[in-house]
Amino acid sequence: GTVLIMGLNFINTTMHSFLNETIYPLLESKEKCFIVTANPELVMGTRESSEFKHHVDSADYVLPDGIGIINAAKIKGMPLRERISGVDLTQAMLEYAAKNDYSVFFLGAKKDSNQKAVKNAKKTFPGLIVAGHEHGYADITSESFIDSMVATRPDIILVALGMQRQEKWIFDNINRFDKGIFIGVGGTLDVMSG
């Protein structure tokens, strides 16, 4: 189920259940999915921008990423079972992808961080299939780029363009793909590059 906090429907689950009951079956059936990892800053963003709210509302799952969300739910008397962070979810998905031959596209972060994140991911998760990667300051909204990205047929798309920009990118482009778990991961590629 979900819990409504400050206008957003947060999924009330554990990371283990979310992976096993939602993500892995979606990967297996090659379905599309848009995941938002929401911290309090993101929630505030949706209150300030109706366009951004619209993008977040189009997501299939809004995950509570940040203790502030967990605390807000508790105060409202609707406790959420677990905080699910974008970094943790990304690591778990990469591990699963490497073991089960699902491909990953790394989109975003500075050129150097993007390359290092890909390199480190391959090292940490041997056998990981990298569908492709592109840094977040390239022309990633052009028709030709989207066409080339669609052609790589990624199963998992990590979008690290910063809050709002990454959700807009997913909102604008997810329909071009015929499968893929799209997730806005914020600074995760920077963390992975370190």
- Which residues in this chain contact ligand UDP in the complex, by CB under 6 A? 108-110, 113, 136-137, 160-163, 165, 186-187, 189-190
* Cβ atoms within 10 Å of 34's Cβ, excluding its own: 22
Length of the chain, please? 194
Cβ closest to ligand UDP, residue 26 vs residue 170: 170
Report the residue number, 3 or 136, with the smaller CB distance to ligand UDP. 136
Q: Looking at beta carbons only, is 109 or 181 nearer to ligand UDP? A: 109
Q: For residues 133 and 136, what is the distance between their CA atoms, to the nearest angstrom? A: 10
Nearer to ligand UDP among residue 68 and residue 187 (C-beta)? 187
Residue nearest to ligand UDP (CB): 136
Query: One-letter amino acid identity for 65?
Result: D
Q: Which is it for strands 8-11 and 103-108: parallel, antiparallel or unpaired?
A: unpaired
d(CA 16, CA 93): 11
Q: Minimum Å distance from CB 142 to ligand UDP? A: 14
Quote the least distance from Cβ 20 to ligand UDP, whole Å.
28
Dihedral of CA atoms 125, 127, 130, 131 in degrees, nearest 10, equals -140
Strand partners, 2: 11
Provide the β-strand partners of residue 194: none
Q: Return the closest-CA partner of residue 105 out of 151, 149, 146, 59.
A: 149
CB closer to ligand UDP out of 13 and 39:
39
